Structure 1
Amino acid sequence: MKIAILDDYQNATPSLKCFELLADHDVKVFNSSTRGLGQLAIRLAPYDALVLIRERTAFNRALLARLPNLKLISQTGRLSGHVDVAAATELGIAIAEGVGSPTAPSELTWALIMAAARKIVPYANNLRDGLWQTASINPELNGLGFALKGRTLGIWGYGKIGQTVAGYGRAFGMRVLAWGSQASRDQAVADGHQAAASRAAFFEQADVLSLHLRLHDATRGIVTAEDLARMRSDALFVNTSRAELVQPDALEQALQKGRPGHAALDVFSSEPLAADSPLLRIPTVLATPHLGYVERDSYELYFRHAFQNVVDFANGVAANLNNPDYARQARR
């Protein structure tokens, strides 16, 4: 099969052990992204199978219809609304899903919390410029960081990642306050944490508030400007899940108003994030380039499953399909 691996910014996949699974196939790794429909259609038209790195490229009906040779989309991890499944099914394109792990995104979440709380990045950057114990040359921003022990960690979404981050908070002596579905809150209480009395209380009480929700129609824009306005001026808002969970522009406006006072972000509504993004101009924002799953162990896990799904499909075994009713004859 002719296989394309998309959006491998660091050209990491050829160095993975699991890359050997594709040894019998014709593989092209694309290290740059393109967003235009026409450009994508020209680039991808020759390929039988595409391996997607999470949702770095979206596939709508218009694009899928212009890929006449495409038989399989192999997704690293789970789908998250970036592929038009109904269109793919109608066009006879199979979609295979992989597996994920909470470890890397949970660890990154905690790294961001620690770094933002103690202002590690600005301290380190200013040290290179000869400034000792200086978080900012702006007196208003040159305040002290804060320790986590004794403070309240708000977790919205008590799934695998949320549970892991909550465990980190407990280990650091934090009070863990959960919000989300009733089942999530009940599980948090069963695990020895607390459930917020209300959504308003959740935003008002959290010193650090971290989102761990899946993105779908019900959660898109679920965090509102009103929610953010309830946060304290010294609170930290953390999002390593999906930028679209927050209403458009609500976080930028809230940070400019000072509530919450700080944010640590790994996800953005448009990625790669443009260098002139307003978020990068806000000094109280710690931003990383969507690194939640970007580490070697996660790549080996995600891509091994994605590559194996391609190999199985090439051998006539359609496994782990999101759309098992896809119709091959629609395209052949």
Structure 2
Amino acid sequence: MRCALIDDFQGAAATAADWSALAGRVEVVSFAEHTDDEDELVARLAGFDIVVTLRERVPFPASLLDRLPRLRLLIASGMRNSVIDYAAAERNGVTVCGTASSSTPPVELTWALLLGLARGIVTEHTALREGGPWQQSVGADLHGRRLGLLGLGKIGSRVAAVGLAFGMDVAAWSPNLTEERCAQAGVRRAASKEELLADSDFVSVHLALGERSRGLIGSAELALMQPTAYLVNTSRAAIVDQDALLKALHTGAIAGAGIDVFDVEPLPPGHPVRTAPRLLATPHLGYVTRANYATYYGHAVEDIQAFLDGSPVRVLP
């Protein structure tokens, strides 16, 4: 059998897990170049029985699955994936499996972005390295300021704990958030999304993408934020209207944004996000750490072994 590891950008898959466990049973081939063109994907994957994909980077709709008759096992990192057509997979005889995933890396990246924005790290670092002005920004304080969290789940609650450690006033809101849940996390429950946006110095998004959260932050919501406030999104791009955010950054309606997720990934050359002012952006690094990759690919090996032995594990959905 043959297994394709797609979007292995850093070539890290080979060393993140012990693939020798599959020696003699599976030939493993890594692809570093991304494509979401369906014809190119068919040409690339047609000769493989197994595909390992990272998170929701590449959609697997019915139109693609129907054109991969050899495919028998699709492994996606994490235990939730909204871009796989599970009905089509079942119809085509494709087993879909997942892996465990840690919530720690996106928490840490959230704070890297927030702190980078607050203290102008990139601007000051660039000036220092290139012989620019010595001190050109005045940092925003965290202690005593308000952190507003859209979502208080596994990731949001851990972001809240760090905010509290910094001495911030932390509030949270989501459609079904209860007073009890907020009390457990030690934060205040905002009466509404509008109140949270208007009153917060920093707003961080930690919601799952669904019909109620898609486009949750648009022009009207960004207009509620203070001109000195910052927005951070390490969750899902579609929760924040990208065009509205770009306009807010260009006009100075908000002080800045830290973004790790985008409507098109990878961002093509010339995309307006690449040159937007007041933006600190990373190329979807939220889950990209050594420990998380070890889990992803280590569990992928286990998934393949279990499938070959006739007892699939971590089957999705």
The TM-score normalised by the length of structure 2 is 0.95
Are 2:210 and 1:216 equivalent residues in the alignment? Answer: yes
SS at match of 1:249: helix
Aligned-pair CA distance for 1:123: 0.4
Are 2:261 and 1:260 equivalent residues in the alignment? Answer: no
Aligned-pair CA distance for 1:71: 0.6
SS at match of 2:4: strand
Aligned-pair CA distance for 1:283: 2.1
Task: Tell me the distance in 2 between the aligned counterparts of 1:11 and 1:290.
Answer: 16
Unpaired segments ≥5 residues, structure 1: 136-142, 324-332
Q: What pairs with 1:98-117 in structure 2 (closer than 5 Å)?
A: 98-117=99-118
- Aligned 8 A contact 1:261 1:284 in 2: yes
Task: Tell me the distance in 2 between the aligned counterparts of 1:284 and 1:65.
Answer: 44
* CA displacement 1:290-310 (0-9 Å, x = unmatched): 111111011111221222111
Count of matched residue pairs: 316
Task: Tell me the distance in 1 between the aligned counterparts of 2:251 and 2:91.
Answer: 48
Are 2:175 and 1:172 equivalent residues in the alignment? Answer: no
- Aligned 8 A contact 1:230 1:259 in 2: no
Task: Tell me the distance in 2 between the aligned counterparts of 1:240 and 1:133.
Answer: 31
The residue number in structure 2 matching 1:245 is 239
Aligned-pair CA distance for 1:248: 4.5
Task: Tell me the distance in 2 between the aligned counterparts of 1:184 and 1:41.
Answer: 46
The residue number in structure 2 matching 1:15 is 15
Aligned-pair CA distance for 1:134: 4.1
Are 2:271 and 1:270 equivalent residues in the alignment? Answer: no
Unpaired segments ≥5 residues, structure 2: none
Aligned-pair CA distance for 1:314: 1.1
* CA displacement 1:113-158 (0-9 Å, x = unmatched): 11110000110011111124344xxxxxxx4121211101111111
* CA displacement 1:142-181 (0-9 Å, x = unmatched): x412121110111111111101100000011101110113
Q: What pairs with 1:138-217 in structure 2 (closer than 5 Å)?
A: 143-183=137-177, 186-217=180-211
The residue number in structure 2 matching 1:138 is none
The residue number in structure 1 matching 2:220 is 226
Q: One-letter code of the match for 1:121?
A: V
- Aligned 8 A contact 1:148 1:174 in 2: yes
SS at match of 1:183: coil
Task: Tell me the distance in 1 between the aligned counterparts of 2:66 and 2:266.
Answer: 25
Are 2:66 and 1:68 equivalent residues in the alignment? Answer: no
Q: One-letter code of the match for 1:16?
A: A
Task: Tell me the distance in 2 between the aligned counterparts of 1:212 and 1:160.
Answer: 9
Task: Tell me the distance in 2 between the aligned counterparts of 1:58 and 1:245.
Answer: 18
- Aligned 8 A contact 2:161 2:185 in 1: no
Task: Tell me the distance in 2 between the aligned counterparts of 1:22 and 1:261.
Answer: 51
Q: One-letter code of the match for 2:140?
A: F
SS at match of 1:307: helix
- Aligned 8 A contact 1:76 1:302 in 2: yes
- Aligned 8 A contact 1:203 1:230 in 2: yes
Task: Tell me the distance in 2 between the aligned counterparts of 1:256 and 1:300.
Answer: 40
Root mean square deviation of aligned Cα = 1.5
The residue number in structure 2 matching 1:140 is none
The TM-score normalised by the length of structure 1 is 0.91
